[in-house]
Structure 1
Amino acid sequence: MDDLQQLLLGFQVALTWQNVAFMIVGVLLGIVVGVLPGLGGPNGVAILLPLTFGMDPTSAIILLSSIYWGALFGGAITSVLFNIPGEAWSVATTFDGYPMAVQGRAAEALTAAFTASFIGALAGVLLITFVAPLVAKFALRFGPAEFFGVFFLTFCSFVGMGKENKAKIVASLSIGFLLAAVGLDTISGDLRMTFGQTELMKGFDFLVVVIGLFGVSEILLTIEEGLHFKGKRAAIDLKVVLKTWARLPAYWATLLRSSVVGMWMGVTPGGAIAASFMGYGLAKRFSRRRENFGKGEIEGVLAPETAAHAAGTSALLPMLALGIPGSATAAVLLGGLLIWGLQPGPLLFVEKKEFVWGLIASMYLGNVAGLLIVLATVPVFASIMRIPFALVAPIILIVCAIGAYTVEGSRFDIWLMLVFGFVGYVFKKIEYPLAPLVLALVLGDRAEDAFRQAILGSGGDLSVFFSNGLVSTLMILAVLLLFWGPITDLFGRVRGRRRLDPRLAE
């Protein structure tokens, strides 16, 4: 009951005219970000983060989260009309969305996609509303050893449950840890790996790195691919919207199942991409019209969009409650909170209630605003895709450079941005994941500090990480998740042998 009262106070914060204006602007910018394949949610938030430095933290996070909501909606426009995923998790949407557009049902497909996005995001926000405060209260019991256990669990789960090559994930994490170690050691006060360069004394600024890794690298890839946009036209009228909405109750099981899948994959490191494909696969498996999937089945649009957006929203739960980002975008938002002097985690719910509940309230409002705006402006934003990318790319690059320079007012940061842009480009070409690198860069020094504080407190005794039930559970669960792949393979082989040899089942 107390949480609901806090949520009502949050709506009072979010509904001030300044914050509503920032919300609308953020959604509009986010739709542009989602429509342009050279950007995307994490990239757009990272590039535009410097614009919020002089703002009130609550207004700033509302603006950035609204950009994220808008990007989630915008990715569906390119998937349906142009058969080009605006976001990686929109790939599954193209399977049935574009065939519907080819059949002249683009407005129906877009309405279904936007509504499913809204439902999935709403499910994620409800999860944050009711679960995040409980997680935060529980986490108040954490000491250095427990916090290291949580960090260790996060890193292990990224490795064990990640869909990419395990060696590549470990390599990406290791590079992130290496970058996080550059600069001043917060425990001893020593300088590490600065090589006499005064610019490196403060370490690699998180924002400069992510602008390069995400923004600049995507521009290089898009230029290399030479994308030519030629898509279907669509205009959504009220009659189509109401007709599509009238059909949605028939798919309640698909929407519910995809929401649950998305929330689970969002809180765990499965991510929105895996959630979208899992949602699509389950919908196809349980549907009575499975033979129509891939040919323009509306259920094939609803399922991946619901799952992806439930996952993308739910990923903010561990970021707010524990200070651990569940996605690349959450990692960027976490960096923004740290820049504004806010420490994500359980104390945030105690010390900054107005901020937290204002943000949660804005999630509800931002999704409603996003749904209404995107339904009304599809033709406008679809026309952006017809602007030659040769004109768009330099503008994006200039915005990236301004964002990097704004951090410290240093030209050295612009060069760093370009270097990391090339690194991100190479990583994407050789299919090395960037999310683990960003995760390690954000959490690496915090995990190291927690580990060293726990060791100092125990006099060098490593058993401190198994000193009570809570930290022991975290460490054991982390190891299990680290070897999750081999464990499941082993169980699969045992089951296979039992099927082949009936004597083993006796």
Structure 2
Amino acid sequence: MDELYALAGGFAVAFTWYNVALMILGITLGVVIGVLPGLGGANGVAILLPLTFSMEPTSAIIMLTSIYWGALFGGAITAILFNIPGEPWSVATTFDGHPMAQRGRADEALVAAFTSSFVGAIFAVALITFLAPVVAKFALRFGPAEFFAVQFLTFASFIGMGRGSPAKTLASMCLGFALACVGLDGVTGSLRMTFGHDELLNGFKFLVAVIGLFGIGEILTSMEDGLKFSGADAKLKMDAVIRTWRQLPKMFFTFLRSCIVGCWMGITPGGATPASFMGYGLAKRFSKNGNNFGKGELEGVVAPETAAHAAGTAALLPMLTLGIPGSPTAAVLLGGLLIWGLQPGPLLFVEQKDFVWGLIASMYLGNVVGLIMVLTCVPLFAAILRVPFSIIAPVIVVICAIGAYTVNNAMFDVWMMLVFGVMGYLFTKLGYPLPPLVLALVLGDQAESSFRQAMLVSQGDVTVFWSNWLSGSIMTLGVILAFWPLVSGLMARFGKSGRTASAA
């Protein structure tokens, strides 16, 4: 009941003309970002983060999260109309969304995608509303050992649950740790890896690195691919909306299953992309029309969109309560909170109640506003793809440069942005994942500080991480996840050799 009273206060904070105007602006920018391939939620938030430096933290976070909601909605437009995933998590939407558009059912596919996105996001926001205060109160009992255990579990999750090579994930993460060590040592005050450059005394600026890795890196990749846009036109009429909404209640269990999968993958943190594929796979397996998936089945649009949006929203739960981002976009938002002087974690719910509950209330409002906007403005957003990419790409690069320069008003940051952009391009070409690098860059300092504080308290005894059931259980789970690829590989090898021996 206390959560409902606090949420009512949050609506009073969020529901002002200024914050609603920022919400509409953010969603509009987010949909544009989601529509344009080569950008994405994390990229858009990173590029536009400098615009919020002069705002109050509550207004700033409302605008940035609205950009995120808009990007989540916008990715489905290109996936369905043009068969070009505007976001990585929209790939699964193309499987049935584009075949529906080719059959003249683009309006039904778009309505189903937008509505599913809304349902998944609202389910996750409701989970945050009632679960976040409980997690925050529980986390107040955390000490350095417990915080490091949680951070270690987060890093291990990327290794054990990632879809790519564990070795490449680990290499990317180690590079992020190395970059996070540059500058002044927070414990001893000594310089580390500055190589005589005064600009590196405070380390690599997180925002500059993210703009380069995501913004410039993706643009370079897209330019190499030589994107050309061609697709179907779509107009959403009210009869199509009503006709589609009448079909959706029949898919109740698909919605519920995808919401649960999405929330789990957002918190763990698996991410929106694997959540969308998992939601699609489960729907195909349990649906009575599973054989029609891939040919233009409405349920094949509902499942991935619901799971992706539930995951993208639920990723904010560990970020707010523990200071652990559950997705690349949550990592960017975490960096924004630190820039504004706010420390995410359990104390945020005690010291900044208006901020936290204003943010949660804005999640409800933002998704309602986003649903209305995309249902009414699809033709306008889709028309953006008629602009030649040769015009769009330079505009994005200029915006990135301005964003990097405004961090410290220094050209050094612009050059570093370009260096990180080339790094992001090379990582993409070589198949190295960027999210682990970003996560390590954001949490590296905090994880190191927690580890060293725990070591000082225990006088160098590593068993301090197993000194109580809480940190011990989290660390044990983290160790299992870290070595899970090796364990699963050995199990598969022994299982194969056993079947071979029995067959012989």
Tell me, yes or no, whether TM beats 0.5: yes
Q: What amino acid sits opposite 1:484 in the alignment?
A: W
Shift of 1:481: 1.2
- Kindly state the Cα deviation for residue 491 of structure 1 after the two structures are TM-superposed: 5.4
1:373 and 1:495 mapped to 2: Cα distance? 53
Does 1:381 pair with 2:399? Answer: no
What amino acid does structure 2 have at the position aligned with 1:431?
A: G
Are the aligned partners of 2:166 and 2:485 in contact in 1 as well (CA < 8 Å)? Answer: no
| Structure 1 residue ranges without an equivalent (≥5) | none
The match for 1:246 is: 246
Q: Which amino acid aligns with 1:165?
A: S
In 1, the alpha carbon distance for the partners of 2:353 and 2:409 equals 33
The answer (yes or no) to whether the contact 1:95–1:300 under 8 Å persists in 2 is yes
Distance 1:494 1:120 in 2: 40
Matches within 5 A, 1:247-396: 247-396=247-396
Letter in 1 for 2:198: T
Residue 499 of structure 1, CA deviation: 8.0
Q: What are the superposed Cα offsets for residues 462-496 of structure 1, whole Å, 9 maximum, x if unpaired?
A: 22112111111111111111122344455566777
Q: What one-letter code is carried by the residue in structure 2 that aligns with 1:229? A: F
Residue 235 (structure 1) aligns with: 235
Residue 409 (1) aligns with residue 409 (2): yes
Distance 1:336 1:430 in 2: 29
Question: Counterpart of 1:448 in structure 2: which amino acid?
Answer: E
Give the partner amino acid of 1:53.
F
1:320-352 deviation line (CA, Å, top 9, x unaligned): 010000000000000000000000000001100
Q: Given that residues 337 and 344 in structure 2 are in contact (C-alpha distance below 8 angstroms), is that contact kept between their aligned partners in structure 1?
A: yes
**Residue by residue, what CA displacement relative to the aligned partner does 1:168-190 show, whole Å, maximum 9, x if unpaired?**
00000000000000001110000
Alpha-carbon RMSD across the aligned residues, in angstroms, is 1.5
Aligned-partner Cα distance in 1 for 2:288–2:441: 46
Contact 2:76 2:110 in 1 (8 A): yes
Aligned twin of 1:45: 45
1:83 aligned residue: 83
Maintained 8 Å contact 1:162/1:269: no
% identical equivalent positions? 67
The amino acid across from 2:5 in the alignment is Q
Counterpart CA distance in 1 for 2:49 and 2:176 is: 21
Aligned to 1:449: 449
Quote how far apart the aligned CAs of 1:274 are: 0.7
Matched residue, 1:12: 12
Any idea what the Cα deviations from partners look like across 1:367-400, whole Å, max 9, x if unmatched? 0000000000000000000100111111111110
Tell me how far 1:290 sits from its aligned partner.
1.4
Give the letter aligned to residue 325 of structure 2: P
1:21 counterpart letter in structure 2: A
- For the residue of structure 1 that corresponds to 2:433, the secondary structure is coil
Q: Which moved more, 1:119-128 or 1:456-465?
A: 456-465
Q: Which residue of 1 aligns with 2:481?
A: 481
SS of residue matched to 1:377: helix
CA distance in 1, matches of 2:493, 2:252: 36
Instruction: Quote the Cα distance in structure 2 between the aligned partners of 1:244 and 1:497.
Output: 51
Partner of 2:419: 419
C-alpha spacing 1:300/1:356, structure 2 compared with 1 (3 Å):
same
| Structure 2 alignment gaps of length 5 or more | none
Structure 2 matches for 1:19-58, cutoff 5 A? 19-58=19-58
**1:249-298 Cα distance to aligned partner (Å, 9 max, x none):** 11111111111111111111211111111111111111111121111100
1:95 aligns with 2:102: no
Give, in whole Å, the separation in 2 of the partners of 1:250 and 1:189. 62
Q: How many residues align?
A: 503
Query: What does residue 464 of structure 1 align with?
Result: 464
Helix, strand or coil at the partner of 1:101: helix
Query: 1:215 corresponds to which residue?
Result: 215
